Amino acid sequence: MKMQKTIHEDKFETKGVTIAFTAPTPLDPGLAWACADHPDPELFHPVDDAALAAAQELCAACPVRELCLELGQRRDEFGVWGGVLLESGKPLAAVRKPGRPKKVA
Ligand code: SF4
């Protein structure tokens, strides 16, 4: 079976239950996900700007960057997808600082 490299809906059955999902997933073989074997998956959930820059540097050279970003947006993902920091699939301009935002006077 030929690998479909565009984003598509897929499903499988297990124990009489049908599971539907948006494919491909980062675990799909045959796609060159640059981060597939990265030793630190937390890199893609950055806690500061330096970590975000490190993840974006890896993404910049990734051959599936556009597919990855579209997949992250379609699946309402969090973290860095295609070099873009997402929150519920929406791009964030910067890493959120922990805690409540400061009150504006
Ligand atoms: S674009 Fe970034 S997050 Fe997406 S597969 Fe490539 S390296 Fe991983």
Summarize pLDDT for 38-90 with one digit per residue, the tens: 898 899 999 999 999 999 999 999 988 999 999 999 989 999 999 999 999 99
Beta strands in 2-83 (DSSP E): 8-14, 17-23, 79-81
CB 69 within 8 A of CB 90: no
In a domain? residue 17: no
Does residue 65 fall inside a structural domain? yes
Which residues, other chains included, contact 92 with Cβ-Cβ below 8 Å and sequence gap of 6+?
85, 86
Question: Residues near 48 by Cβ (< 8 Å), separated by ≥ 6?
Answer: 95
Ligand 1 atom nearest 81 alpha carbon: 3
Q: Which ligand 1 atom minimizes the distance to the CA of 79? A: 3
Higher pLDDT, 24 or 26: 24
Residue ranges making up the domain that contains 72? 29-91
What is the total count of domains within the chain? 1
Asked if 83 contacts 59 with a C-beta cutoff of 8 angstroms, the reply is yes
Q: Does 6 reside within a domain?
A: no
**Residue 33 domain-assigned (yes or no):** yes
Q: What is the distance in A from the centroid of ligand 1 to the CA of 28? A: 13
Q: Is residue 93's pLDDT more than 70? A: yes
